């Protein structure tokens, strides 16, 4: 679970801030999406940044999961740190993660054990041309899936010289692919959440088991761009609905808010493992664990 927390922290703190960017690239021919994409590229030019992330999931107003985290990344040095707090049905959990040049260190809040996993040798990672090809493929995929969503976006000039871009999609405007895949994906997540509800090794989020009437009702996306053409804040709200087997209606809301600060001046926290209790985890061990968990989950279907 610590590994999953690390992934969540980094994804929400950094990668999550850029997800809309891929969608923007798919529709960059519109004025608003062009403004956003320009700011996204300018933000990426900052070789370090701090991301303050807040995430909340509610069911009929009742909180199922909340997350607050701070991620600090320095791309030049290939280092980073994450501090995150989660609140689920079992209470509050916390974690720290440190991304070093040659390893990843993760510590659960109430544990004195630091789990250490070696990072992949950068020489083993794909070359830049391969990365560029992958980026082009992703661009094409989003263009196909999301089409011309840019026509629904707006841009507003702010008094401080910045801009605010917004994209609001109603049920009718949401791509058919998302509406079709949504019930399948949600069903898998709900099934897995039921299995993990009472386990301390998983996030305990008991999602309601919804029927075939599950749908995505609305998507709201906003981004605040400063006068330097850098993204300062980005938020997303997704409204979902459906009924369970008893006929009870559920209104789910997933909200994410990310604030970026200290662009180009962030210094991630470091960890000194001298004198600390360390548990080494190999990449092969992690692969075997994921394979075992996947097989177990598949066999239960």
Give pLDDT, residue 288. 61
Number of H helices, E strands in the chain: 6, 12
Give pLDDT, residue 4. 41
pLDDT by residue for the chain (301 residues), tens digit each? Answer: 443 433 334 333 333 444 444 344 444 445 777 888 889 889 989 989 999 999 999 999 999 999 999 999 998 899 999 999 998 878 898 999 999 888 999 998 888 999 998 876 554 455 556 556 666 666 666 555 555 666 778 889 999 999 999 988 888 887 777 777 777 777 777 776 666 544 555 567 788 888 778 888 998 989 999 999 999 999 999 999 999 989 999 999 999 999 999 999 999 999 999 999 999 987 676 666 555 554 444 444 4
Q: Which two tokens stand for residue 245?
A: 């087997």
Q: Which two tokens stand for residue 167?
A: 């994209």
Cβ neighbourhood burial of 108 (10 Å; 0-12, 13-18, 19+): middle
Give pLDDT, residue 287. 61
The DSSP line for 175-194 is: -HHHHHHHHHHHHHHHHHHH
How far apart, in Å, are the Cα atoms of 160 and each of 27, 31, 63, 225? 27, 20, 35, 10
Q: Which two tokens stand for residue 84?
A: 């995150």
Give pLDDT, residue 214. 85
Instruction: Evaluate the CA torsion angle 187, 177, 18, 256 in order and state its sign.
Output: negative
Give pLDDT, residue 241. 93
Give pLDDT, residue 182. 72
Give pLDDT, residue 19. 41
Rg (C-alpha) for the chain, rounded Å, is 20
């Amino acid at each position: 679970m610590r590994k999953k927390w690390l992934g969540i922290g980094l994804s929400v703190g950094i990668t999550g801030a850029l997800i809309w960017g891929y969608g923007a690239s798919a529709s960059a021919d519109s004025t608003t999406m062009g403004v956003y994409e320009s700011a996204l590229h300018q933000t990426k030019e900052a070789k370090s940044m701090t991301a303050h992330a807040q995430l909340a999931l509610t069911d009929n107003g009742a909180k199922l999961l909340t997350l607050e985290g701070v991620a600090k990344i320095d791309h030049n040095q290939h280092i980073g740190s994450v501090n995150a707090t989660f609140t689920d049905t079992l209470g509050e959990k916390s974690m720290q993660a440190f991304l070093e040049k040659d390893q990843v260190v993760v510590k659960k809040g109430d544990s004195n054990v630091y789990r250490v996993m070696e990072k992949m040798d950068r020489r083993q990672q794909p070359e830049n041309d391969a990365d560029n090809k992958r980026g082009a493929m992703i661009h094409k995929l989003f263009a196909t899936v999301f089409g011309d969503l840019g026509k629904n976006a707006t841009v507003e000039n702010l008094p401080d010289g910045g801009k605010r871009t917004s994209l609001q999609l109603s049920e009718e405007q949401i791509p058919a692919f998302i509406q079709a895949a949504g019930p399948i994906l949600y069903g898998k997540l709900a099934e897995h959440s039921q299995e993990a509800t009472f386990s301390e090794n998983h996030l305990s989020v008991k999602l309601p088991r919804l029927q075939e009437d599950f749908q995505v009702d609305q998507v709201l996306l906003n981004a605040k761009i400063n006068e330097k053409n850098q993204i300062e804040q980005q938020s997303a709200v997704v409204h979902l609905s459906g009924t369970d087997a008893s006929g009870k209606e559920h209104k789910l809301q997933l909200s994410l808010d990310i604030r970026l600060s200290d662009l180009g001046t962030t210094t991630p926290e470091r960890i000194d493992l001298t004198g600390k209790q360390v548990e080494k985890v190999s990449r092969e061990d992690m692969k075997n664990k994921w394979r075992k968990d996947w097989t177990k989950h598949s066999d239960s279907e």
